[in-house]
Structures are given as C-alpha cells and as structure tokens.
Amino acid sequence: MLKWLFMAILAFCLVFDFFAERHHAHFWGDHVVEFWAMFGLAGCMGMIVFCKGLSHVWLERDTDHYDK
Amino acid sequence: MTSSIFMHPAVLFIFGAMLLPLFKKFNAQKIWLVVVPLLAFIQIKYLPSSFGCVEWLGFKLQFGRVDQLTMVFLHVFTLMALIGSIFGLHVKESGQHAAAWLYVAGSLGTTLAGDYLVVFIFWELMAFASVFLVWYRKRKRSIEAGYRYLLVHTAGGLILLGGIFLHYQRVHDLSFVAVSPDSATLAEYLIMIGFMLNAAVPPIHAWLPDAYPEATVTGAVFMCAFTTKTAVYVLARGFAGFETLAIMGAIMTLYGVFYAVIENDARRILAYHIVSQVGYMVCGVGIGTEMAVNGACAHAYAHILYKALLFMGIGSVLEMTGRSKLSELGGLYKYMPFTMIFTVIGGISISGFPLTSGFISKSMIISAAGADHRLIIMSMLALAAVGTFLSVGIKLPYFVFFGPKDSGIKPKEAHWNMQLGMFMGAFMCIFLGVYPEYLYNMLPYAVHYHPYNSYHLAETFHLLGFTALGFYLMVRYLTPHDVSNLDLDWFYRRGAGWFMWTARNPISATNEWVSNIYQNVGLRFTMALARALSWFDWEGIDWALDGSAKGVVKGGEQVRQFQTGKLQHYIGAAVALLFLVLIVVVLI
C-alpha cells in the first residue's frame, strides 16, 4: 500500500514537471524536463556504488583497527 | 566602561557553571540548568552595540560588539544552550554541565569579540572546555580520542596565534574586521587556517568524526552545535568572499556525505554529516555575495537545531540501549515512538523537505551559487543534498527504528526531559519551515529570496523522491556491517605510533649507547680532569694565596716593630723627617 502511494507521488511529480514554470532557471539543466529527477536517481545510485565500492576495496577496517 | 563587561552573556554562563555544585547541594540543579540559559536567551536582546572595552598592556580589547551578524548566531547559540541543558537535565554530574556551559561561554565570547586577542582567549576556552565532554564518557577510547582532539585543537590554536602575531606586526591593529581577499598575506591566511580547522575543512577535519562519537550523550549534543558554527561565524566575519573557501566548502559537502553513506556508527554518520553541512556554510561564506552570506547564516541557524535534534534522537537511543551502531539496532519504533518521530523530523529537515527549516536555508546557498553562475559548485551542493537525504534522511532512521531485521532489544522510551529537548528542536525545525520570515528578519542583509515557488517545490520533490527510489532499489547494498573507515586521522594516529616506536627503539638505543660511552670514557675523563683541577687548586692556587697571605703577615710584623706606641718616638721621627726635607729643599 505504502509502496504504491510512493510510486503514485513519483508519477505525479514526473507529470507535473511537463507543466512547471521555468522563470527562475539558473542554468541549462533547469530547462530540461525531468532533469532533477534524473539527477536524484543517478546521483543516489552512483553515490552508493562509488562509496560502498571505495569502502569495500580500500577504506573499511575493523573498529579496533588502531588499537592493534 | 570596564564594568560593562559583566553584561557579557558568557559571564552568565561562567558564573552559572561555578555555582552549579552549590545548587546541586540544595537539590536545585535542575532549576538552575534552565534558569541560566533562559536568562541568557532573554538578555542578548538588550545588549548595546559595543561594550566591555578594556585597556590592557597598551592593547584596546573589546569583549562585546553586537551587530546583525553577531545577533543571529547569539540567538541560536543561547537557544541551543537552553535546549541542550534541558536535554541533559537527568545527568547528575555537575562537572559535565559546567564543562558544557564553559564551552558555550567560549563560543559566545568568540562571537562577541571585537579583536583577535579576545577571539583567541575564548577560542581556547572552547577547546579546553569541550574536551571534558569527551572525557566524561570515561571509557578508554573516549580518553584517547579526547587527547587527540585536544592536540589537534592546540595545534590549530597555535597556527591562529601565529597569524595574529604576524598580522599585528604588519598593521599594528588587532581589531577583528573583514579582510579583503586582495590584501591578504601569510598572516591572514594563517588566521584563516586556524579558523578552518575548527570548521573541520578537509584535510584538517578528522578530529571531528574521531571525537564526537566518543563524547557523552549530552556532550555530543552541545559539541555538534558550537565549535563548527562559531568557526563559520568567524569566517563570515573576517573572510567572506575568499575563493578558497567556496571551493573547499563545496568539496567538504561531498566529502562528509560520502563517509556518511558508508559509516556504521550512527553518531559517526552524524559527525561526518556535520562536515558536509558546514561545507554549505563555508561555501556560502566563500561565495561572499549578500545572498550567500545570508544563506550561510540561515543555514547555520537551521543546522544547529536539526543536527542537535538528530544527536538528541540518536543519543536517546544510545542512552536507553547502550548501542549506537546501525548493525546492532533495528525495529525500535515500537518501543521509542516519540524518539522515532523527532529523529525523523530531524532527518527530513536536514534533507530540506518543504515546510522544514532545511528547505528555507540550504536552498538559499544553492540558489546563491546559481545566481553567481558557479555551476560546478552548484551541482556539487545539489549532489550533496541527494547524499544527505540518502544517508541521514533515510538510511539512519531506517536502520535504527525500522530496518530489515529486529534487533530484539526492548528499550524504554527516553526520559521526559530528553523528549522535551527533542520536542523543542523539532518544533523549531517546523516553525522555521512554515514561518521563514522569523529567521530571515534576523539575517545580516535584507532577504529578497522566496523559497516557496512552484519550480523550487517541484525540483525538491523530484530530487528527494528519486533519491528515495534509488535507496529503495539498492537498499541491500547499504546493509550495515560492523566496520569503520579509514580517514586522514590515519596520518597522526599511525604517525604517533611510528613516533613512539622511533622513540622507543632507535632513539632509546642511541641514548643507551651514548650513556655507555659516557660511563666508560666520559666518566673516567671527567674524574681525571677533576683530579687535575684538584691538584692545580692545591698546588697552584692555594700556594699563591697562602704565599701572599704569609707575605702579608710578615710585612705586618715588620711594620708593627716600627709602631712602638710611644709619642716621643713619633715626634722625633717626624722632626727628623722634616729636618731632612728642609735640608734637601735648601741645598737644591
């Protein structure tokens, strides 16, 4: 139920963007329809892959690493 | 004029801290803990624009300078002191409250200071008082982290002091005013580095996620509010418009949020997230336009409240369960529903949901970057906003209060005073979101910014909604494990190890070797030298002294034989001498 409500809100956002006013555009991205939706999705997924990957291959240590 | 120093709000907190044990003895500590911050919160509205000017050793010190920029920080600092003190009411140790209040006093003193010497005095008070908030946790790890915190801040303080000295040597004036980026020399940059250390700008940020998670529950609530935001104030006062700050700030926002995505300890996530959020403010200060500086101040105000709210929420969980690692928590919403609601309010505020304080402050800085045509910085800030919602807005509450697994613990709901503290924080987050003019009217410049326009709302919903979708799709990759991640504190933590190893092994061995040589060769040589000197003393000096002494005795004996003591002999000798002189004179 909650899942479908969430999906409905996302769908509404997507549709709304076709009719949004773009007076306050700061740069080219503000003129692209669904720009911020793509930015959010790609940014979020990219960040998870990048950060978790970096942690996994390099940064991650036991919590008592410095005590050893 | 000197007596006007007593109207300084820091004085209130210092005396308040000193009297705490007395009030504890009469069982009135809880009342006193509310009265003092409340008085300070009311009192700041009646401060004159300048007070507490003191002549000292030829320096003009100014303890109080009040303008719009000072006022917005004073307002939120005293409000936060009130909320933090209420949150900590159940703590019986007066020492912890006293440390917190001295820390607040340091922060207020720095904010009000009109010259660099006063800034420095209160700056150091802040560092030395706050370290006790770490040590009061009394675990081995906290004590070690406290020492590291103190060492880093002492180093930062020395850099600041060096800058102040060089600055005074150059301009012979200590007044703390805005520096123009064109006229800045090494002195001003050293001062700026000292300030940046407290703002936790990478690469000198690692003290923050190292110390804050080890602080006491209430200590962390205070610490997250004051050190970094005081640093934002001094940067805004002295260094607005420095390009370095704009770039470093944008890097900070991403650096902090990356670590917040991968860390496991909830308070460490929040600590890293301070780095990210302060990045917005440092960036705003660096951009330096009226709108950007306004945004930095507004964001500092809003951030103190919601970050403290998050630290209170997670602190309540830690207090009631003894755990703060995401991998050991989950399913707490059934047992701590109010804490859950307050923490989620903090989470959505920090993510910038409409009708919360994050929405009206963060967007101001991003818009200012856009209005100044800094597209790269603007997109970095927007990406950090995505990461914020991902790490603190969703990940943190999800794994603590809901989560794929139930931790099986059944804690009680937090104490009433903790809930009251959280309620006050949560109320302010929503109040500012609904009624932004309350905050905008306090800002240093006039505000022409309207956050609630349809495009900005749509943009926010897109950004946040699709970040949530990304989380939903990839949640299994975010499952927390009991690990910690390396950061730049590696250099001094491992470096200290190497230093100790060098001291124990090569240096100690060299020391041993040198002392052996001394015992075998040096000691014998010294003894021989001593014997030689002793012989010289005996045979040379004593002979000379004794010889001259004997000479004096002998001469005295001979003189004594002339002195018969009979008057007629003296007169006879005198007449004979006179006669002799006359003969010589007459004949020649």
Q: Which two tokens stand for residue B159?
A: 């850099």
B390, B482, B485 member nearest A47 (Cβ) = B390
Q: Is the pLDDT of residue B403 over 60?
A: yes
pLDDT value at residue B542: 79
* B383 and B530 assigned to the same domain: no
* B47 and B18 assigned to the same domain: yes
Residue A21 to residue B467, Cβ atoms within 8 A:
no
Q: Residues with Cβ < 8 Å from B28, sequence gap 6 or more?
A: none
Question: Cα–Cα–Cα angle for B510, B515, B517, nearest 5°?
Answer: 95
Pair B122, B62: CB distance under 8 Å: no
B342 falls within a domain = yes
For tokens 């600055």, what's the residue?
A: B167
The single-letter DSSP state of residue B137 is T
Our CA-based measurement puts residue B246 at a distance from the nearest CA of chain A, in whole angstroms, of 18
Q: Is the pLDDT of residue B298 over 80?
A: yes
- Give the Cα separation of B346 and B354 in Å (integer): 13
- Give the Cα separation of B273 and B251 in Å (integer): 13
* B176 and B52 assigned to the same domain: yes
B221 falls within a domain = yes
Given its phi and psi angles, is residue B548 left (phi above 0), alpha (psi -120 to 50 degrees) or beta? alpha
Neighbour count for residue B21 (Cβ, 10 Å): 13
Pair B223, B130: CB distance under 8 Å: yes
- Give the Cα separation of B582 and B502 in Å (integer): 92
The single-letter DSSP state of residue A34 is T
A48, A54, A61 member nearest B484 (Cβ) = A61
Residue B458 to residue A34, Cβ atoms within 8 A:
no
* B480 and B528 assigned to the same domain: no
Helix, strand and coil percent figures for chain A, each rounded to 5: 70, 5, 25
**Closest residue of A to B487, CA-based?**
A59
Provide, as residue numbers in chain B, all residues whose Cβ is less than 8 Å from the Cβ of A30.
455, 459
**Closest residue of B to A24, CA-based?**
B455
B459 falls within a domain = yes
- Helix ranges restricted to H, B239-336: 243-262, 266-287, 290-321
B261, B456, B467 member nearest A51 (Cβ) = B261
Nearest alpha carbon to residue B304 among B111, B55, B123:
B111
Among the three residues B427, B461, B487, which one is the final residue of a domain in this structure?
Answer: B487
B588 falls within a domain = no
pLDDT value at residue B408: 87
pLDDT value at residue B562: 67
* B549 and B407 assigned to the same domain: no
Range of the domain at B510: 492-579
pLDDT tens, residue by residue, B130-140: 999 999 999 99
Residue B473 to residue A9, Cβ atoms within 8 A:
no
Confidence of residue B191 (pLDDT cuts 50, 70, 90): very high
Question: Cα–Cα–Cα angle for B161, B165, B168, nearest 5°?
Answer: 135
Our CA-based measurement puts residue B19 at a distance from the nearest CA of chain A, in whole angstroms, of 40
Confidence of residue B1 (pLDDT cuts 50, 70, 90): low
Provide, as residue numbers in chain B, all residues whose Cβ is less than 8 Å from the Cβ of A59.
262, 485-487
* B476 and B500 assigned to the same domain: no
Among the three residues B454, B487, B520, which one is the final residue of a domain in this structure?
Answer: B487
* B469 and B510 assigned to the same domain: no
* B144 and B17 assigned to the same domain: yes
pLDDT tens, residue by residue, B520-565: 888 889 899 999 999 888 887 878 888 788 888 888 888 777 676 6
For tokens 């060098």, what's the residue?
A: B502
> Is the preceding omega at residue B203 within 30 degrees of 0, hence cis?
yes
What long-range pairs does B537-544 form, CB within 8 A, spacing at least 24?
Answer: none
Neighbouring-strand partners of residue B485:
A60
B100 falls within a domain = yes
Our CA-based measurement puts residue B213 at a distance from the nearest CA of chain A, in whole angstroms, of 13
* B284 and B395 assigned to the same domain: yes
pLDDT tens, residue by residue, B60-109: 899 999 999 999 999 999 999 999 999 999 999 999 999 999 999 999 99
Percent of chain B clearing pLDDT 70 (strictly above): 99
B585 falls within a domain = no
pLDDT tens, residue by residue, A18-56: 887 777 777 888 888 889 999 999 999 999 999 999 999
Q: Residues with Cβ < 8 Å from B341, sequence gap 6 or more?
A: B426
Strands A60-61 and B59-65: unpaired
Helices B290-321, B68-87: inter-axial angle, 10-degree rounding: 10
Q: Is the pLDDT of residue B276 over 70?
A: yes
- Give the Cα separation of B204 and B139 in Å (integer): 25
- Give the Cα separation of B526 and B487 in Å (integer): 53
Residue of B466, B478, B481 for testing the chain A interface, max A β-carbons within 10 Å = B466
Distance, CA of B413 to chain centre:
33
Q: Give the B window 456-485 contacts with A, CB below 8 Å.
A: 456, 458-459, 461-474, 477-478, 481-485
- Give the Cα separation of B96 and B264 in Å (integer): 27
Among the three residues B456, B471, B487, which one is the final residue of a domain in this structure?
Answer: B487
Our CA-based measurement puts residue B21 at a distance from the nearest CA of chain A, in whole angstroms, of 37
- Give the Cα separation of A16 and B461 in Å (integer): 11
B367, B371, B485 member nearest A61 (Cβ) = B485
Cα atoms found within 13 Å of the Cα of residue B294, Cβ hemisphere only: 23
| Prediction ipTM score | 0.95
* B458 and B552 assigned to the same domain: no
Helices B357-371, B454-474: inter-axial angle, 10-degree rounding: 110
pLDDT tens, residue by residue, B451-470: 998 888 989 999 999 999 99
pLDDT tens, residue by residue, B334-378: 999 999 999 999 999 999 999 999 999 999 999 999 999 999 999
Q: Is the pLDDT of residue B116 over 80?
A: yes
DSSP string for B331-380: -GGGT-HHHHHHHHHHHHHHHT-TTSHHHHHHHHHHHHHHHTT-HHHHHH
Q: Is the pLDDT of residue B321 over 60?
A: yes
Provide, as residue numbers in chain B, all residues whose Cβ is less than 8 Å from the Cβ of A2.
none
Pair B206, B489: CB distance under 8 Å: yes
- Give the Cα separation of B522 and B121 in Å (integer): 49
B586 falls within a domain = no
B556 falls within a domain = yes
SS3 A12: helix
* B529 and B474 assigned to the same domain: no
* B563 and B463 assigned to the same domain: no
Q: How many domains, in total, are found in chain B? A: 2
A39, A55, A62 member nearest B463 (Cβ) = A39
The single-letter DSSP state of residue B426 is H
